[in-house]
Structure 1
């Protein structure tokens, strides 16, 4: 639909419905919005919008409410990502400033996002598969066990316990030598490079280091495997409870959030920066509405996601919100984008700049 006036009418209907949760009539549009046309023209436009499936009448003698198709058009053609207010920018800075490591900043980020949007917020930790190794630490835990600490260039830290084969003991000198060799070979490498590098390293290490290298390599490869477990954190579940009238049943959605499989799939489908996603107004973001989520648990929900990373085109993870389709899309998209950019700047060491 290319009629600018009807787009304005649709925008006004959605804005009013999001604010009041009440069906919107032509009289309300005349009284609250300066559309520059007569009430009769607005009624004609509403009839046309209804015929085209963008709004519908929930019951006789009621006003109109947006359909999923209407929200989609609003997001694609009408909604503009509005800038954050000064108080919102200060809130992000105040709540995220002072975080000293990735664990802290992710924990704070998900709370900030939930507070800013009033929705359920989800933040994915930087994927081990999409980041580069910064350092490996090997610490003896006993005669036959070693702690493998994986540190990535995003600051993510992962720990694995390595058990030596039967009859093999951990020699501290061998452990230190292997740690030095592995760091020299793997520092700066991404997951896809690890296996061939380890294969070449196994051919060169002294005999006394091979059993230990084999055991450590197995755990490292397991941590970096493509279907390895990703980590996400969630905040604002209570916000969904406050949106109960917008859902016929919250149970399936809450179950999906708890299981996290659905959330990880949504992130996997989200675009990386620099790619053009379908159905959105910002190349950094993705907005999926209702049935577009391809999951019954999210059939009445909208999901706004954005990628973050250490630089342009280097997405390492995603964050986003889940809420009812009746949401303030411009404000929500602005908050998601701003928080994603702050998290990206944290990874590059420039998080003290304004969001």
Structure 2
């Protein structure tokens, strides 16, 4: 909106957005005068609405109906939010106690998205920690058969990845223990990309009797976790979107497909660079066609100085932005506290 636009028109737009979010019905000038203390006549409000419409912030669907906000109007509304309503002490305590009962990182994230979907009545998503920010805490080697092992990689973010490896040779219990030691010397306290350099040198220095097993194990880790990392996410509340099926221009199935396929949403969550800051993407601002017509409110979670991944909600463009932003912020903050042990 141009800098010369007076404060009243901005207030009229905020009132229209607030009323439409609450009622999902077009908003007329008479209703604005009755519900909001704007201090002017309905004729003045009608004039303001005409200007807002000409500037693309609201639109009239039918000649006799009120106005509804456009995506441009929602964007200005979101950008003008200087503060969001904080959660009540009761809500904060409920969130914290529910998350603290999580048994591991994935369980905490599942609880987090379950809470977000219930609090916002939208679909909620969270990205499991990406391996490029995780450091290896330990690599366990479990012997399944004489010539088959299971590698269990545990990172400092709590992520656990498992890989089966055919060693091509039969191993004794002592050889399995030595293999574990060799792998951990190359992996522990390193990111996987850094560790891949160490693992590439393992074969040349490995004891001859376990060299084949070392080559097989390190190759599997490099090929599946470094060169082709599998990102995962957890999802809850997709069924909430069925309540607003008619409010997605491209149709609800395209949004559900994006959530199911995960790739589109993971790409979006991967763009979250810091926890604490909330990003709002509205309608056509979403690069992927499947999510155009939807709004995504997302933020990062993690520990001090490190973002493990992104989490947020997906819903219609008329969602309650102040409430949604506050809830996404709060849940991400408590998830970070639980994972950080604070």
Same fold (TM over 0.5): yes
How many angstroms does 1:260 deviate by?
1.5
Q: Aligned equivalents of 1:82 and 1:219: distance in 2? A: 49
In the alignment, what sits opposite 1:180?
181
Distance between the aligned counterparts of 1:88 and 1:222, measured in 2?
44
Q: How far has the Cα of 1:5 moved from its partner?
A: 2.2
Q: Specify which of 319, 325, 336 is matched with residue 333 of structure 1.
A: 325
Local SS of the residue matching 1:188: coil
* CA contact 2:196–2:226 (8 Å) conserved in 1: no
- What's the counterpart of residue 261 of structure 1? 263
* Gap runs ≥5 in structure 2: none
Which shows bigger deviation, 147-156 or 222-231?
Answer: 222-231
User: Aligned partners of 2:53 and 2:303: how far apart in 1?
Assistant: 45
Matched, 1:171 2:172: yes
2:203 pairs with 1:210: no
Match of residue 138, structure 2, among 121, 135, 140: 135
Aligned residues: 338
Tell me the TM-score normalised to structure 1 length: 0.90
Give me the whole-angstrom Cα distance separating, in 2, the residues matched to 1:81 and 1:98.
Answer: 28
1:219, distance to aligned residue in structure 2 (A): 1.8
**Residue 119 of structure 1 corresponds to which residue in structure 2?**
122
- 2:284 is equivalent to residue 291 of structure 1: yes
Instruction: State the 1:21 CA deviation.
Output: 0.6
Counting only pairs closer than 5 Å after superposition, residues 1-355 of structure 1 correspond to structure 2 as: 1=1, 2=3, 3-78=6-81, 80-165=83-168, 168-225=169-226, 227-248=228-249, 249-268=251-270, 270-273=271-274, 284-312=277-305, 314-350=306-342
- Alpha-carbon contact 2:128-2:309 (below 8 Å) kept: yes
Separation (CA, whole Å) in 2 of partners of 1:181 and 1:87: 51
**Conserved in 1, the CA contact under 8 Å of 2:200 and 2:218?**
no
Q: Is the alpha carbon distance of 1:209 and 1:4 closer, same or farther for their aligned partners in structure 2, counting shifts above 3 Å?
A: farther
- CA deviations 1:77-130 (Å, max 9, x no partner) are 246322112232123123212212112212211100101111000111111222
Equivalents in 1 of 2:50, 2:28: separation in Å? 11
Asked whether the 8 Å contact 2:99–2:335 carries over to 1, the reply is no
- Distance in 2, Cα, partners of 1:223 & 1:135: 17
1:226, distance to aligned residue in structure 2 (A): 5.0
Give distance in 2, aligned partners of 1:147 and 1:170: 13
Superposed structure 1 runs of 4+ greater than 4 Å apart = none
